[in-house]
Structure formats: C-alpha cells, structure tokens
Chains A and B, each alone.
Chain A
Amino acid sequence: MNESILNKDEIRQLIPHAGDMCLIDAVNNFNATEISCQTNTHKLIDNPLRHNDTLAAVNLIEYGAQCMAIHGGLQARERGESLGQGYLVSVRNVILNIERIDELENNIHITASQIMANAGSMMYEFSASHNDSALAQGRVTVMRVV
C-alpha cells in the first residue's frame, strides 16, 4: 500500500460528499493538474452505491468524479477558498473493462487529470486500476453550482 498524503478525515473536509458517500480512502499524490487516490470502499457491504447485492463497475464514474472533487478542493484550499457544490453534467468516452468491482480483493487506484478548469466548470480524464490492470476510464465534466 502506498503511503498516503491525505487520509479520509482530511478528504471529508475538502469535498461536499459526507458519510459513507465519501468513497475515496486516501490521496497518494497530487500536483497542479493531476491527482492519484486509492480506495477499499468497493468491498464494503454498506457501500451506498451497492444495488442488487453488487457494486457495478459503472460506479467507477462516481469514484473518478470524487477524485476530481478532491483535486478541486485541494486547489480551492490553496486559494483560501472552499469547494462549493458541483453538478456532474457530462460523461464521455467511458470504457469499462469489467462488470462488477465489489469482488476485487485489493485497493482500487484512481487517477484524475485535469483537461480544463475555470470558474464555472472543470473537465477531467479519469482512470481506475486494480493490481495494475485497467478497470475503467472516461472523461467527466462538472459544473459548479453558484
């Protein structure tokens, strides 16, 4: 397991997601345009996104979007601001390589790279992997609600 630079309590202070809906366990690394995170919450039986006793791989889009939110929150904190609410408005070019993720044994690693960000919106490319094999990727656009 990589050493994290931000734990779950610190993540909860950065993003609007609360309680069990905060799906990312730790931030391993980040810079001005990229963030890499890891999580184990896909295995939790009380994961709020579970449906019909499984956690479908499509939920990795939400995992990717939360990594974006954390990155946005870190940048907002550097400016002395806090991250407001955002709305996931568009998901593009999504590739899912598996059907479900709740049976994956180890941590899922997720990276999100910023394509564009301005006052009103941000666009990221995310990818998720498990034991170095790719699980999912896609492009997510979030608009800030002001």
Chain B
Amino acid sequence: MEMYLQKIACFAPGIDDWQTMCSALTGKINYGELAAQQISKIVPQILPANERRRTTSLIKLALHVGEQATVEWPDGAQLASVFSSSDGDHDILNKSTHALTLPGRPVSPTNFHNSVHNAPAGYWAIAAKSQAFSTSLSVGDASFSGGLIEAATFSQCERQPVLFIAYEYPAQSVLQTVRTCQYPFAVAMLMTPVVSNQSQTKFEISMHSEKQLSAMDNENLEALRKDNPAARSLPLLACLAHKTVDSCTLEYVNNTRITLKVTPCQ
C-alpha cells in the first residue's frame, strides 16, 4: 500500500518542531537525557480560548501537532482524520474515577464530556470547523502502526487526503504506577493517496511475520521510543529526516510487523 506524506509535525521532550527533531535524528544536535529535557508548554492556537480552557494536556498535545501539520493546507474543514492513542486521557480518567470515590460522586461535567476516547478528535472538529470523517482508535503499543494502517486504508479506499495523529501523554497521578509512559510524544502526518507537487515522501507499507524491529542509535531516543507508544514512530521519523531511500520495521499486533519503505519525492 502506498501513501504520500505532505507534511509532518511532532512534539517530544526538548523538541517542539520538525526541524529540531530532524537535527536530533540526524545527530546535528546531541539529544541528551530525557529527564533533563525541557518540556514546552503547549498552547494550540487553532482552538478558541473558551474551548481551550476545557481541554487537557493530552488534547492540547494532539491538536498542537495537528495544527502544525496542516498550517499550509487550504481546506482543513474537509480533511478526514485518524487519531490514535494507546491509553487515552489519564488526567480525565484519574479525576473522574477519584470523584466516583467521594460522597455524592461529584464527577465534573467537563471531565465527563472529555472522558470519551475521541475527545481530541471532537475538539479538532471544533477547531477546524470540520464535519469530515474521523476515527479514533487505540492499538496498545502498536497504536502508531495501527493508526497509520487505518489512515492509509481510509485514504486509499476513499481517495481522500487524511490527517493522522498519534499521541500519548503520561499520567501524572497514581495511574503512573499502573501502565503509562513517562514522557509525552506526538506525531502528525498529513498524507494523500496520490502524489502531488507538495509530496515530500512516498511510503510503501507492507506486512511481515518475521523481521527485526528497528531501533534508534541514540540511547536517549531509543529510551523515548520504548517509553511512549506514539514514539514507536521514531525509526520512521529518522528515515524521513535523512531524506534518502530507506526502510524501517515497526511492531504491529499478534507478532506481525509493518515495514515502511521511504522514498523522497524531490
């Protein structure tokens, strides 16, 4: 299956734009220890202030990369989207479940409103004034590759561009001890089913049963890759940053893997 990348955006500890990510991935800057990285405050401009107030760190993270990936796209309202996150919103889960333990079970209406897995997609629709198709899914640790397959099959099936966003934000509560990442990460990819003048890269996606998973050379990027399901995309981002013909293999489900062959368009 083929897809064409028009624009990419990402967010990681110490990294708030694609250029900085490229420098880290190509070794132009040395990406240091995760614990020492500054995590930027995220304020997605695309959302009106009164809506932004109701959002959470996870929602802001997803919208922030989505906004960066579509900044030059002429018709955001018509753009279909796929949102993928393993755990969803730990902050909301923590606040709502905590409220359930209190007398009268005072769950905040705003938190209840935000408790669905497609809350980020809902705020994206408000921000982009979009009624276009949108899917929100979770594929555990394979949430990046699962979301990418969903986005690619939708785009090929409907012959439409698609915005794909994978995002994961750590729990800052007791849930941290259960299952979560330690560091935030998000990536947004604006893709089309056919090549255009703006196409940066061609992806060819194939599926395999036995193939070595790609890893990162830099130990801190490798730690980030292992930490955050959305950061499992890092080997692909490294291929893109090097701007050469290359390929990488990412985990999918049930012991299958997907391989992405990457070919620059210009």
Contact = CB atoms under 8 A, between A and B. Distances in A.
Whether chains A and B associate is yes
Contacts, number: 47
A143 B157 contact: no
How many interface residues does chain B have, given as a range? 10 to 19
Contacts of A143: 1, 149, 205-207
Q: Is the interface of B mostly helix, strand, loop or mixed?
A: mixed
Interface string A95-122: 0000000000000000000011010110
B209 A141 contact: no
Nearest to A144: B207
B123 interface: no
B57 interface: no
A51 interface: no
Contacts of B207: 87, 89, 120, 143-146
A139 interface: yes
B156 interface: yes
Contacts of B98: none
Interface in B140-157: 149-150, 153-154, 156-157
A79 interface: no
Nearest to B255: A145
B256 interface: yes
A139 B207 CA distance: 20
Interface of B: 1, 149-150, 153-154, 156-157, 204-209, 256
Interface of A: 85, 87, 89-90, 92, 115-116, 118, 120-121, 123, 139, 141, 143-146
